[in-house]
Structure 1
Amino acid sequence: MSDEIAPVQLIDDYKSAKDPARVAKDLAAGTAGGIAQVLVGQPFDTTKVRLQTSSTPTSAVEVVKNLVSKEGLRGFYKGTLTPLIGVGACVSCQFGVNEAMKRFFRGDNPNPSGLLSLPQYYTCGFVGGIANAFLASPIEHVRIRLQTQTGSGAAVEFSGPLDCIKKLVKGKALMRGLTPTLLREAHGCGTYFLTYEALVSNQVQKGVSRSDIPAWKLCCYGALSGTALWLMVYPLDVIKSIMQTDKISQQVHGKTTLGVTRNVYAKYGWKAFFKGFGPTMMRAAPANAATFATFELAMRTLG
């Protein structure tokens, strides 16, 4: 980086750190990114969950065909209210904690570029993932229950998100799947933010201010980050989904992460841990491109 660029970047970082409303702005931008992620990714997510939890061999094409014929296009957005609120909160938590950790590592004496080391970026995301897991686990549990139920009227188990929450709380099952969620979120978010920040840092080191990186590049970086995340943690997500769609009162597949893993492997083999992988990877690029681009543009707007 040239001498002319570095001081400007340093001043921008100090202003950001000293802004009393910085945390609120980080959370607001994260919420915007989360909403964008849900709107873009929900159809893919519904297909993924149906595949992961299917008791019979099927394909993404068959799932989509059956869903459209039996439930219509609206079926792809079943349970969307919960993720719109919940994923907004989750992404807000992820990004908010990640930004706070970046400021923590910079301290009062950041280097001239304001950049961190790659292990530090991973740690920022790792901590953000752990914090987010306690929100994500119950929110995703409710969403998955709603996504996988079929039928209408009196035939459905849950009449909506609130009814689902009440029944899960009554069955002492709302936080089921927390352990695989913690493992997925910690390593997944560490990889997620490391990938993104490494790509952004590459631009900053070339003399480009973060606020001047074009939207199309932010989309590409977000797409690559989302893809890297799911490549690292996908089997954990399958285990979590199986645990969260098991019977509320009687867990057929096992009561622990290890127990479920053993039972699923014994019954279906290793391929079971990659059910729904195709739709997930198809979703990862556009959903996370929208997430990061929206987050960065919201941060620029908020200042």
Structure 2
Amino acid sequence: MQSFRLDDFLAGWIGGASSVVVGHPLDTVKTRLQAGQGYRNTLHCVLSIYRKETVSGFFKGMSFPLASITVYNSVVFGFFSNAQRLISKYRYGDGRHPCGLLDLTAASMLTGLVSVVLGAPVDLVKIRLQMQTQTLLAENLHLAGTVPSGSDVPLRSVGVPVQGGYRGPIHCISSILQAEGVQGLYRGAGAMVLRDVPGYTLYFIPYTIFCDLLRPDATSTPNPCAIWLAGGLAGSISWVTATPADVVKSRMQADARLHRKYKGIVHCIVHSYRTEGAQVFFRGASVNAIRGFPMSATMFLTYELSLQFFRSF
């Protein structure tokens, strides 16, 4: 058996496309909750998006993730599977040898690091597109308007498009490059490392454990229902535990270029805690738990079925 296989990458590409379509509406809700301050709760966020932007608002910014996250998941799943085989070959002399918990942890953490290289720009553009209909808050611009009577009107009551109105993913990328350079595409990458290294560990390991528990015996392969359930549970666990780092990442990436609020990861954490309390780091956790299940269930099921199809020839 070869230690390196390309079919893992192709199966990851197919799985990634299916998961984007399933999970993007809730991803939009999650991003708005984490990066904005105009929503009371998840239901209020959902209703606000629907009333102001109709159903299309939930799919805002999906074209870029659909094109890019497919590649991203292809790299993630392809790298993880091949890393397992390489580790097994190095440690046990056989790439087919089952990986132990330590082997899976190492492969997962390496996958988390690699994912940031592609994932940081993808997430940045996706979030900027999702957030551009939000209003700039008074604390972002330190301004207030006045009416003829002279009474102050808080800026939070005035809708101003964020980010200057990107026309699409390409325009967003070119605008960021012109204004901030290549490093601008990696804003929030440090927070993404804090999210993805432990996040992928709590993604792949629970999936493997649940699959083992749900299979009829040690020699059989999990059936599609078991794969779907194991993938969904792993996704919910991973996303809920990654929520605090995800909040920081989303806030830094959504930070308007017109006026930078956060100087870095530590400043974002401290500022968010002082202004909104510890609960801010769990904003969107319920959405992450709900969204993580169908997305990951679809991802793993499509990935495994695609692999079975490719290897049946």
Band the TM-score falls in, shorter-chain normalisation: 0.7 to 0.9
Question: Are residue 214 (structure 1) and residue 223 (structure 2) matched?
Answer: yes
Kept after mapping to 1: 8 A contact 2:89/2:95 = no
Match of residue 129 from structure 1: 112
Kept after mapping to 1: 8 A contact 2:39/2:45 = no
Match of residue 51 from structure 1: 33
Q: Please list every run of 5 or more consecutive structure 1 residues that lacks an aligned counterpart in the other structure.
A: 1-13
1:244 and 1:97 map into 2 onto residues whose CA distance is 26
Question: Are residue 246 (structure 1) and residue 255 (structure 2) matched?
Answer: yes
Match of residue 161 from structure 1: 169
1:158 and 1:275 map into 2 onto residues whose CA distance is 26
Q: State the AA in 1 paired with 2:56.
A: R
SS of the residue corresponding to residue 107 of structure 1 reads helix
Kept after mapping to 1: 8 A contact 2:33/2:283 = yes
Question: Are residue 38 (structure 1) and residue 36 (structure 2) matched?
Answer: no
Q: What is the Cα deviation at residue 56 of structure 1?
A: 3.2
1:48 and 1:199 map into 2 onto residues whose CA distance is 26
Question: Are residue 287 (structure 1) and residue 295 (structure 2) matched?
Answer: yes
In structure 2, do the counterparts of structure 1 residues 280 and 127 end up closer, same or farther at CA, with 3 Å as the change threshold?
same
For 1:93-112, what aligned pairs fall within 5 Å after superposition? 93-107=75-89, 109=92
Q: What is the Cα deviation at residue 82 of structure 1?
A: 0.8
Q: What is the Cα deviation at residue 98 of structure 1?
A: 0.6
Match of residue 233 from structure 1: 242
SS of the residue corresponding to residue 185 of structure 2 reads coil
Query: 1:119-170, CA deviations, whole angstroms, 9 ceiling, x for partnerless residues?
Result: 211211111111011111110000011111128xx96610000010011111
Q: What is the Cα deviation at residue 46 of structure 1?
A: 0.5
1:120 and 1:128 map into 2 onto residues whose CA distance is 12
Percent identity of the aligned residues? 28
Q: Which moved more, 1:72-81 or 1:200-209?
A: 200-209
What RMSD in Å do the two structures reach over aligned CA positions? 2.1
Kept after mapping to 1: 8 A contact 2:24/2:62 = yes
Q: State the AA in 2 paired with 1:62.
A: H
Q: State the AA in 2 paired with 1:165.
A: I
2:36 and 2:244 map into 1 onto residues whose CA distance is 15
Match of residue 178 from structure 2: 170
Q: State the AA in 2 paired with 1:188.
A: G
SS of the residue corresponding to residue 187 of structure 2 reads coil
Match of residue 232 from structure 2: 223
Question: Are residue 297 (structure 1) and residue 305 (structure 2) matched?
Answer: yes
In structure 2, do the counterparts of structure 1 residues 204 and 124 end up closer, same or farther at CA, with 3 Å as the change threshold?
farther
Alignment length, in residue pairs? 280
Kept after mapping to 1: 8 A contact 2:199/2:238 = yes
Q: Give the structure-2-normalised TM-score.
A: 0.84
Query: 1:20-63, CA deviations, whole angstroms, 9 ceiling, x for partnerless residues?
Result: xx532111100111111111101110011111112235211111
2:124 and 2:12 map into 1 onto residues whose CA distance is 21
1:250 and 1:25 map into 2 onto residues whose CA distance is 45
1:139 and 1:190 map into 2 onto residues whose CA distance is 21
2:52 and 2:241 map into 1 onto residues whose CA distance is 34
Q: What is the Cα deviation at residue 278 of structure 1?
A: 1.5
2:64 and 2:109 map into 1 onto residues whose CA distance is 25
Q: Give the structure-1-normalised TM-score.
A: 0.87
Question: Are residue 188 (structure 1) and residue 199 (structure 2) matched?
Answer: yes
Match of residue 6 from structure 1: none
Q: What is the Cα deviation at residue 80 of structure 1?
A: 0.5
Q: Please list every run of 5 or more consecutive structure 2 residues that lacks an aligned counterpart in the other structure.
A: 135-159
Kept after mapping to 2: 8 A contact 1:30/1:93 = yes
Q: What is the Cα deviation at residue 204 of structure 1?
A: 6.5
Match of residue 51 from structure 2: 69
1:98 and 1:284 map into 2 onto residues whose CA distance is 19
Quick one: which of 198, 204, 211 aligns to 1:200? 211
Kept after mapping to 2: 8 A contact 1:115/1:201 = no
SS of the residue corresponding to residue 23 of structure 1 reads coil
1:132 and 1:112 map into 2 onto residues whose CA distance is 23
In structure 2, do the counterparts of structure 1 residues 120 and 102 end up closer, same or farther at CA, with 3 Å as the change threshold?
same
Q: State the AA in 1 paired with 2:100.
A: S
Quick one: which of 239, 245, 269 aligns to 2:277? 269
In structure 2, do the counterparts of structure 1 residues 119 and 205 end up closer, same or farther at CA, with 3 Å as the change threshold?
farther
Question: Are residue 23 (structure 1) and residue 32 (structure 2) matched?
Answer: no
Q: What is the Cα deviation at residue 203 of structure 1?
A: 5.6
Kept after mapping to 2: 8 A contact 1:130/1:185 = yes
1:32 and 1:38 map into 2 onto residues whose CA distance is 10
